[in-house]
């Protein structure tokens, strides 16, 4: 029996010695870097490697020495990170444990403060003093980076919370449920009022936007529309928006809006004229308030593109003529069919609270020339950036990702 007691005492002493030794052994800078950012470095390296391999496999030009350097850098980043994680395993584990302890201390202190504030009437003065004392010890150890003291402080505060606030502590299931619910509410709020994703289904905005582009749209720039119940109203009812006067749509901007003839459909076009403007098309040339929009031939590669015929479910290769238009200081690309026959539309004065829109693919766009202007309250937002793109003939269009909508 005496031998067993001595063995237990020796084990406790050894554990304390090991804890002090770990606390005294400061991980090197490289170990701290790997411990804090290994996941990020591996993801970045893997993405670089995959993109490089895909471009080489798909023969996306230009395949140059720079591309091979890019591929090598991505693969090297992954390999070096994994190698250092293995070689410095002991030090990296210390960094990971310390980071976890700091995170746990933040959560426990937050829980203690909330419990002391919300349940002060159910705690005796002695219980409140014990909780505050344990929290103070933990804060002191955390701020001084006393890692052994931090571990002891975590256990002490956790024990006091169990003793005095067990009735208020959240179960693991409740914590996960609340976290998921908050994440869902934030996502719904962002989608309703801030940013929404849209997919381009047709070629009416080629070359600015291709079939298969996925874009983010700024939904609050022209005012805010509550998502319920007005989104469910029948056509002909008002679609109220608030704060529309703070920032009105401007000429040259690309907008997403509810199609006035069928508000269940979303369209995307470019604003050519705003309220009070007179717009006219003469032989494919746009005039705003009697002045022609600058329309110059585009230099560079032959004008051709792939369009998707939704009715037949097929891709079509088309030839075109490219131009660079400038409207109110905004320069953007437009196209006409090859050997396009000039067409004209009579002057239209845009009513108050409306905009006149056209597609950049002028001969293949169903827009205000055919069905009239778009009321402000039907505008959902301004197109911002292409975040994903896929379509014929390339498949995944890596070069379009991250492109701003001009």
Q: Which residues are catalytic?
A: 204, 269
Contact (Cβ atoms closer than 8 angstroms) between residue 390 and residue 263: no
Of 251, 287, 286, 283, which is closest to residue 269 (Cα–Cα)?
251
Contacts made by residues 304-309, CB under 8 angstroms, sequence distance 24+: 305/203, 305/206, 305/207, 305/210, 305/335, 306/210, 306/211, 306/391, 306/392, 306/393, 307/202, 307/203, 307/206, 307/211, 307/364, 308/201, 308/202, 308/203, 308/211, 308/212, 308/391, 308/392
Residues 404 and 332: their CA atoms lie apart, in Å, by: 12
Cβ atoms 257, 380 nearer than 8 A: yes
Element (H, E) at 103: helix 89-118
Phi/psi for 109 (5° steps) reads: -65, -40
Do you know the residue count of the chain?
406
Looking only at the bridges linking them, the beta strands covering 345-349 and 354-358 are unpaired
Crossing angle between the packed helical segments 125-143 and 89-118, to the nearest 10 degrees? 150
* Run of H or E including 358: strand 354-358
Residue matched to tokens 């293995």: 86
Minimal CA–CA distance to 273: which of 159, 394, 369, 154? 369
Tell me the C-alpha distance between 241 and 248, whole Å: 12
CA dihedral 86, 92, 96, 97 (to 10 degrees): 110
Other Cβ atoms within 10 Å of 66 Cβ, number: 9
Say what the alpha-carbon torsion angle 330, 331, 332, 334 is, to the nearest 10 degrees.
110
């Amino acid at each position: 029996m005496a031998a067993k007691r001595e063995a237990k005492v020796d084990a406790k002493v050894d554990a304390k010695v090991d804890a002090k030794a770990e606390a005294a052994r400061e991980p090197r800078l490289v170990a701290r870097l790997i411990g804090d950012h290994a996941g990020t470095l591996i993801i970045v390296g893997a993405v670089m490697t995959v993109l490089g391999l895909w471009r080489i496999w798909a023969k996306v030009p230009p395949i140059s020495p720079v591309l091979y350097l890019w591929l090598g850098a991505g693969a090297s980043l992954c390999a070096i990170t994994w190698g250092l994680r293995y070689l410095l395993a002991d030090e990296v584990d210390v960094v990971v444990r310390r980071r976890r302890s700091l995170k746990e201390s933040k959560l426990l202190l937050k829980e203690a403060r909330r419990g002391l504030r919300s349940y002060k009437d159910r705690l005796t003065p002695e219980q409140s003093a014990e909780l505050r004392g344990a929290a103070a010890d933990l804060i002191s150890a955390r701020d001084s980076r006393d890692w052994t003291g931090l571990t002891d402080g975590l256990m002490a505060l956790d024990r006091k919370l169990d003793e005095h606030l067990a009735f208020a502590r959240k179960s693991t299931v409740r914590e996960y449920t609340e976290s998921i619910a908050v994440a869902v509410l934030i996502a719904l709020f962002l989608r309703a009022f801030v940013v929404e994703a849209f997919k381009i289904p047709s070629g009416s905005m080629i070359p600015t936007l291709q079939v298969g582009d996925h874009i983010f749209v700024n939904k609050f720039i022209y005012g805010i529309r509550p998502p319920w119940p007005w989104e469910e109203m029948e056509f002909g009812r008002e679609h109220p928006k608030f704060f529309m006067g703070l920032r009105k749509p401007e000429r040259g901007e690309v907008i997403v809006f509810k199609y006035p003839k069928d508000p269940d459909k979303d369209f995307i076009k470019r604003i050519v004229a705003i309220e009070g403007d007179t717009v006219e098309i003469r032989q494919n040339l746009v005039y705003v308030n009697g002045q022609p929009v600058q329309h110059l031939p585009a230099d560079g590669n032959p004008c051709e593109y792939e369009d998707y015929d939704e009715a037949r479910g097929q891709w079509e290769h088309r030839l075109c003529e490219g131009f660079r238009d400038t409207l109110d200081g905004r320069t953007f690309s437009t196209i006409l069919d090859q050997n396009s026959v000039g067409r004209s539309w009579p002057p239209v004065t845009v009513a108050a609270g409306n905009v006149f829109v056209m597609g950049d693919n002028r001969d293949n766009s169903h827009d205000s020339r055919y069905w009239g202007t778009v009321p402000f309250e039907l505008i959902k937002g301004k197109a911002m950036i292409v975040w994903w793109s896929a379509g014929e003939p390339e498949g995944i269009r890596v070069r379009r990702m991250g492109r701003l909508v001009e």
